[in-house]
Structure 1
Amino acid sequence: MAGRIRDEDVRAVRDASPIDDVIGEYLQLRSAGGGNLKGLCPFHDEKSPSFNVTPSRGMYYCFGCGEGGDVITFITKIEGLSFNESVERLAKRARIELRYAEGGYTKRAVSSERARLLEANQAAAQYYREQLATPGARAGRELLAGRGFDQSAAEKFRIGYAPDGWDHLVRLLLSRGFTERELMTAGLASQGQRGLIDRFRHRLIWPIADVGGEIIGFGGRRLSDDKNSPKYLNTPETPLYKKSSVLYGLDLARREIVSQQKAVVVEGYTDVMACHLAGEGTAIATCGTSFGEEHIKILRRLTGDRNQFLSAKIVFTFDGDSAGQKAALRVFTEDQRFVTQTYVAVQPEGLDPCDLRMARGDAAVRDLVDSRVQLFEFVIRTQLAEHDLNTPEGQVQALRAAAPVVAGIRDDALRQGYALRLSGWLGLDEQVVRAEVRRAAPRRERTAVSGGGPGAHRPPSPGAAAVPAAPAVEVPARDRYRQREALKVALQYPGAAGALFDDLELNEFTLPAHALVWQAIAAAGGCAAARSADEFREKVMASAADDRVRGMINELLVEPLQVRRTAKTRDQVEQHYVETCMSSVRLSAVERRISLLRAQMLRAGAAGDPDAQAALFGQLQQYQQYAAQLKSRYGL
């Protein structure tokens, strides 16, 4: 293992790594005033940005989940690295040579495991690139040329060739000092009958890099006619390579994605190449897996996705065949995790971006992306295309096929809009379509996420709208009482509770049963959307997760409020009491945050970190001031 990195070198790395530049490589930051920056937190899922960066102090802090620290802490957490590995990575970025000390003496740097794996991948990538020019790689060069890629394209994307043999790469890397264990851990070698063999053999090779450009794995395309070998082979899961969170081309597309607030998701390596060479520099692709939750999180951070009215766009391109349509339908199930607008671009003749570029040139690729249609529309029209809309029977069948899709749209305004459009596409009466959509509506069990939920975009004070839930310990009786009373008001008098209740967050209801009731209320649209108390209660009941939650809701509906009632107030609730109930829940959450900050300050002091102490003290003062305001205004 490496020795301790010298303190002066750590300070040099920290000083040479502007925190806004480093974090800006992972998510989009916008000005928050006063020299501060704000963006979507990369450590928890949220719709409203609560992740703050203070470049002048070199610190970051998320008011939603409580994560915070300096630039080294950020790299440690975002990449899952040790302290030494994070410093090494930032040092490489800043071109600083580190010195290691152990026992008071400077020693030669011994790289960490991660650094060793990266070095092995870099050496392999260089070897593969050199092999592309050899006679044995002729089939690979011909394949590239046949797809419209010349030598400059191969160099731009660092494409290489794995020779047809058992252990060419293994022998080379072992001769350079890498161990068999390192080659296996990096996914460069497999265990054969007589020892290690190359994982990639007689394949065209694409290196796969992380967002910072470090090579973390490879994708190989078979060049032989061996049907028993997969056409495409990727690096297996390794400490560096996690296919569920890897996007090919992200290192090249990152800056364009951030600046254009757009990403084009294609299906393969050559499609990424074609798009970039055609001028669509935001193209990326998944690696051996379908587009999923982790990919969504990455793109949301880069596009700054937080509001459906932003111009940010995610465009998926699929083959026009049935497989491509099925891929689009799979995306539909995940799409609603996006706040930004999501589109699909399908070439009518079934050409993918690479084929389209070969057949019709660069402009055709750009036109394909520009021809995008919204994902909801694409999915609905795909359903309609399977039926004969010229007959009444076909119209009804198409309606029954498409209604569940429309009913599954979580945004109420969008759902109503697409119901109206579906009426026009089918040529059926609007009321008939809406009735069918209502019948097809699923029981919505939308779990609110941190930073989400009704009213989350209207925090009553800076940083106070997303206070993390308390640890799993006994909830104080006072907090249980406050949360229960707030829920009773919301259920019994939703009109009076309105936005005051909706502004509260899921994580402010620390008793699990209370949190489940909050989720049911949020899934019903929140108190502010209630048209009548009876209708609202029915929606809340229908949104409850199970019978136990419904039992709790019933209990809260009939339990009297803990406030003195008179004949005049028997059928109503005083607004001051509503405000006091909601503010008391918020006060409990703020007090939990204050306790946590004090504990963090003590730890920072014990660790001899005055900068961290100062940052925590500033946060503590803000929360203390807000708590004092709540107590003074509502007599809490």
Structure 2
Amino acid sequence: MISQNSIAQVFETARVEEVIGDFVQLKKSGSNFKGLSPFSEERTPSFMVSPVKQIWKDFSTGKGGNAVTFLMEHEHFTYPEAIKYLAKKYNIEIEETERTDEEKQKADKRESLYLVSEYANEYFQKILHKTDKGKAIGLSYFKERGFTDETIKKFQLGYALDEWQAFTDEALKNGYNIEFLEGTGLTIVKPDKHFDRFKGRVMFPIHSMSGRILGFGGRILGNDKKAAKYLNSPESEIYHKSKILYGLYFAKQTIAKEDNCYLVEGYTDVIQMYQRGITNVVSSSGTALTSEQIRLIKRLTNNITVLFDGDAAGMRASIRGIDLILEQGMNVRVCTFPDGEDPDSFSKNNSLKEVQDYLTENSKDFIQFKASLLFEDSKNDPIKKAETIRDIVNSIAKIPDQIKKEVYIQACARIMDISESVLFSTLAQITKKENQEANKNYKQEQKAFDVVRTEPKQVSKVNIQYELERKIIEILLLYGNKTEKFEDLVLKEDETSGDLVLEPVVHEAKVFEKVYLDLQEDEMQFTDDDFKTLYYSIVDNLNQNEDFSAKDFINNLDQKMAPLVTSILMDDEKYNLHDWERNNIVPKEKSHSVPQLVSQTILSLRCYLIDQKVSAFKEETLSPDADLKSVMENVKDYVGLKMLLSRKLGKVVGS
């Protein structure tokens, strides 16, 4: 268990914009930050972070909360794991009691898989550094590759003994369950035996963006031709290779800072370049590049430079990845190394300046690269040249931005010595064909569901009471502790005409006291259970704490309620996503008229409740046992009260 003192220290120190900035590229937007949602596929930002309120809101999915909630949502941390992650990030010492074996067994499956993976990572490092075989075989290999001790420790490289059950037996001895050893793929379980998946291999742990161990890559060192040179962990509940980039945990901050990401093929390419000083580098770890991997990079930068070795056949096989990058609306450049060189060897054999200069001078726009690569095969063959041009136009068709498309068509026309009009015509044909195909697929999908004809859906009505109760919670969170001058309207007889008129009476009070007393006057009860819980919790906090802040309230709130509170607080921020001020539209700040907002909300709620009451009385008149005289008197009284409240509301709104 983590002590409350440690938790409070973490919340006090952690900055939500810094924490989220490690995972999402954030750009300043007024007093807030905005970026692309890490929870959905989008091209325009709908993700907002408020440094003032220390909360975030994703308008594309409805998720929201504080720094801890973000880590729980994005990295699937448990609450204690999120606290520990933040403590590590901000160098805060955590006070806690050690987990017992019983507590380990009670951990849920997903957390257990992480625990096993973390244990395996520590075990493989210990074998590498602390055993004779590890030093003689594993450490020697890494040294031969030119890796320094600092690099080996940073990337947490390890070694698996060339024995069938060494790791599994040690893990079982330390209380780890065979179910989870099998679940991570570290142990292969047969009916009559079990054995290690990784045997006699140097180990490359694969980290999530937050540094958690998800799986491993293992390289064989022997000459066994039957065994795969590289072996990766199998897919599991925590490891999905198509959604992970090797090295992203170490590279993410530099990628955002440099606004560019170098994409290479293998583990050693990443490590060698990082060691040389090129730290904004990641790898797809030998798998074909996927859209999910590209979107991970897009959160941090819009620019990718793909690095290929001198193998032309390998380059052609990788061109598909460039089209995927273009589809995501990203800018892509390509750099190839001299024959016989790859990012690993080139970084090892050249200085940092030489590597940087080479990358700068030899990085080509994707059209120049594709044209030069394909042109060699087709320069003396008109038919092949035509196919090459069509291939390039196919890539341009993947780009979502129309302006970029036109610029690239112009560049292609110059490079391939062909008229722009022909290329634009070809582009239009390709686009038309793709649209027709998309429409055809859409209709087929719809047809599959169109089995039963259903009546058109009725548009659901707005729940007025829900919205007004929500507004009261918002008022209390934002302004509850503010002292304001409230103008109450009281019925008095006009001395001249004798008519009853509304006269203003001004008094000073805290916002939460005004709200509480007005609602008590009507004995109003919240109909939404969550709002009811929040209301009494906020009022209790405001009563006891003169320094009440929404940030502290959220931090101490049950994490299940945090998204609701965040949603309430951040609703107005979504208008900042559209840059209204640039179009000379400036939304009015609610804080400019808090007393008016409070009075308007309370009066609106009271009018609504009266309408509900009158409707209930009308229902009573349908009963044969109803006391019609009494019911009508009640209706008359409530209608009179509604008229009075409506007059007050009219004056509040119009003031």
Question: Which residues of structure 2 form unaligned runs of 5+?
Answer: 445-458, 474-527, 539-549, 551-561, 576-585, 589-655
Task: Write out aligned runs for 1:219-368 (5 A).
Answer: 219-303=217-301, 305=302, 313-368=303-358
Give the Å deviation of 1:37: 2.3
| Residue-pair matches, total | 479
> Which of residues 22, 25, 38 is equivalent to 1:25?
22
Shift of the 154–88 alpha-carbon distance from structure 1 to 2, 3 Å rule, reads closer
Distance 1:62 1:393, change over 3 A: closer
Q: Deviations over 1:337-381 (max 9, x none)?
A: 433421111114252111223444444433343221122432343
Cα deviation 1:100-150 (Å, max 9, x = unaligned): 99xxxxx97877344443343333223222322444343434433443324
Q: CA deviation at 1:589?
A: 12
Aligned to 1:49: 45
From the superposition, tell whether residues 351 and 620 of structure 1 become closer, same or farther in structure 2 (CA, over 3 Å).
closer
Aligned mate of 1:161, from 156, 159, 162: 159
Find the counterpart in structure 2 of residue 77 from structure 1. Answer: 73
Match of 1:58 in 2: 54
Q: CA distance change for structure 1 residues 98 and 367 in 2, over 3 Å: closer, same or farther?
A: same
State the SS of the aligned residue for 1:302: coil
Give 1:373's aligned residue. 364
Checking the alignment, whether the CA contact within 8 Å between 1:13 and 1:87 is kept in structure 2 is yes
1:420 partner amino acid: Q
Report the alpha carbon displacement of residue 219 of structure 1 after superposing the two structures with TM: 0.9
Structure 2: which amino acid aligns with 1:72? V
Distance 2:312 2:118 in 1: 39
Say if 1:54 and 1:439 are closer, same or farther in 2 by CA, change over 3 A.
Answer: closer
* Contact 1:72–1:87 (8 Å) recurs in 2: yes
Return the letter of the residue paired with 1:369.
L
Any conservation in 2 of the 1:315–1:369 contact (CA below 8 Å)? no
Contact 1:132 1:141 in 2 (8 A): yes
Q: Give the Cα–Cα distance (whole angstroms) in 1 for the partners of residues 437 and 150 of structure 2.
A: 57
What whole-Å deviation, never above 9, does each CA across 1:242-288 have from its counterpart, x for those lacking one?
Answer: 21222111221121112112111111111001111121110111234
**What amino acid maps onto 1:124 in structure 2?**
A
Point out 4+ residue stretches in structure 1 off by more than 6 angstroms.
5-9, 107-111, 547-550, 588-601, 621-627
Change (3 A) 1:201 1:173: same
**Segment of structure 1 superposing worse, 92-101 or 187-196:** 92-101
| The structure with more helix, counted as a fraction of residues | 2
Name the CA distance, whole Å, in 2 between partners of 1:174 and 1:268: 32
Which residue of the partner structure matches residue 439 of structure 2?
A: 545
Per the normalisation by structure 2, the TM-score is 0.64
Secondary structure, aligned partner of 1:336: helix
2:596 aligned partner = none
How far the C-alpha of 1:422 sits from its partner, in A, is: 2.7
Shift of 1:200: 0.8
> What secondary structure sits across from 1:28 in the alignment?
coil
What code does the residue aligned with 2:321 have?
A: V
Aligned-pair identity in percent equals: 27
Whole-Å separation in 2 of the counterparts to 1:337 and 1:316: 15
Change (3 A) 1:400 1:47: closer
* Counterpart check, 1:132 vs 2:128: yes
The alignment partner of 2:300 has SS state of helix
Aligned-pair Cα RMSD in Å = 4.0
- Conserved 8 A contact 2:413-2:419: yes
Distance in 2 separating the partners of 1:419 and 1:622:
39
Using a 3 Å threshold, how does the CA distance of structure 1 residues 229 and 442 change in structure 2: closer, same or farther? farther
2:95 match: 97
Partner of 2:531: 605
Alpha-carbon shift at residue 173 of structure 1 (Å): 1.6
Matches within 5 A, 1:134-213: 134-137=131-134, 138-192=136-190, 194-213=192-211
Partners of 1:45 and 1:596 in 2: how far apart? 29
- Structure 2 residue 102 is the aligned partner of structure 1 residue 112: no
Look up the SS of the partner of 1:385 in the other structure: helix
Distance in 2, Cα, partners of 1:593 & 1:429: 62
Question: What is the TM-score with the length of structure 1 in the denominator?
Answer: 0.65
Instruction: Indicate if the aligned counterparts of 1:184 and 1:190 stay in contact, CA closer than 8 A.
Output: yes
1:480-537 CA distance string (max 9 Å, x none): xxxxxxxxxxxxxxxxxxxxxxxxxxxxxxxxxxxxxxxxxxxxxxxxxxxxxxxxxx
The one-letter code sitting in structure 2 at the alignment partner of 1:188 is L
- CA distance in 1 between counterparts of 2:157 and 2:408 reads 45
What displacement does 1:43 show? 1.5
Alignment of 1:380-395 (within 5 A): 380-389=371-380, 395=385
The structure-2 alpha-carbon separation of the partners of 1:173 and 1:32, relative to structure 1 and needing over 3 Å to count, comes to: same
Given that residues 170 and 198 in structure 1 are in contact (C-alpha distance below 8 angstroms), is that contact kept between their aligned partners in structure 2?
Answer: yes
SS in 1 for 2:172: helix
Contact 2:34–2:45 under 8 Å retained in 1: yes
| Residue matched to 2:598 | none
Instruction: Supply the distance in 2 between the matched residues of 1:593 and 1:17 (Cα, whole angstroms).
Output: 38
Q: Does the alignment pair 1:414 with 2:411?
A: no
Structure with the greater alpha carbon radius of gyration: 2
